[in-house]
Amino acid sequence: MNHLTDERIVDALEGALPDREAVHLRACAACEARVERLRGVLHDLRAVDVPEPSPLFWNHFGAQVNASIDAAPKHRSRWLTTAALAWMGAAAVVILAVIGLYESSTAKLVPPVGITQAPIDDAATAGTETPTDPDVETDEAWAVVRSFAADLHYDDAQEAGVVPRPGSLERAATELSTDERAELVRLIEEDLKRRGA
């Protein structure tokens, strides 16, 4: 008969060896030695206990678990805030590119009338007019966005594949609430500082 497999050695160690293999084990010194070798390790292992922490530790453990549970949603919302800020930052870059593209295109290129009218055929924009939000014009903070966007060149944006839809640019800016614009401005100012602008 073949020697015991690793699994059967474990069974032998735990006294769960089927009869047939048990007969082999009694007659095979090699398998017996393997079992005894591991039995010694297991004996040493089981003699080692975990140091008992202070009784005070157990008194406070439950309270600490509860505190962690209560703190977890705050932690999650902080994470969401960070993620939201990251998204806002990304959105700011896109909006800036789009605004810059728009301003450059209107300043340097005089598009034919037909071009600005064409998107109106689009189902998504049909029946809508370019909104005008007086807050955008009067919002001093928003001027930062405008000045930053003015540095972007139309050709650069076009090369990058950013093609604006006439009318969508202003909507992107004007659909932001005053608070959202203020946050966007803050992000842009932070970015400008970081770049040393």
Residues in the site for another protein, rule: CB under 8 A?
6-7, 9-11, 37-38, 40-42, 44-51, 53, 57-58, 61-62, 64-66, 68-69, 72
What Rg do the C-alpha atoms of the chain give, in angstroms?
36
CB of 77 to another protein, least distance (A): 15
CB of 62 or CB of 134, closer to another protein: 62
CB of 57 or CB of 87, closer to another protein: 57
- Burial (CB < 10 A; 0-12, 13-18, 19+), residue 8, is buried
CB of 62 or CB of 196, closer to another protein: 62
CB of 11 to another protein, least distance (A): 7
CB of 60 to another protein, least distance (A): 10
| Distance separating alpha carbons of residues 183 and 173, to the nearest angstrom | 13
CB of 24 to another protein, least distance (A): 17
Burial 21-41 (b: 16+ CB within 10 A, else e): bbebbeebeebeebbeeeeee
CB of 45 or CB of 123, closer to another protein: 45
CB of 78 or CB of 153, closer to another protein: 78
CB of 118 to another protein, least distance (A): 52
| Distance separating alpha carbons of residues 55 and 115, to the nearest angstrom | 78
**Contacts of residue 153, Cβ cutoff 8 Å, sequence gap at least 6:** 100, 104
| Distance separating alpha carbons of residues 40 and 43, to the nearest angstrom | 5
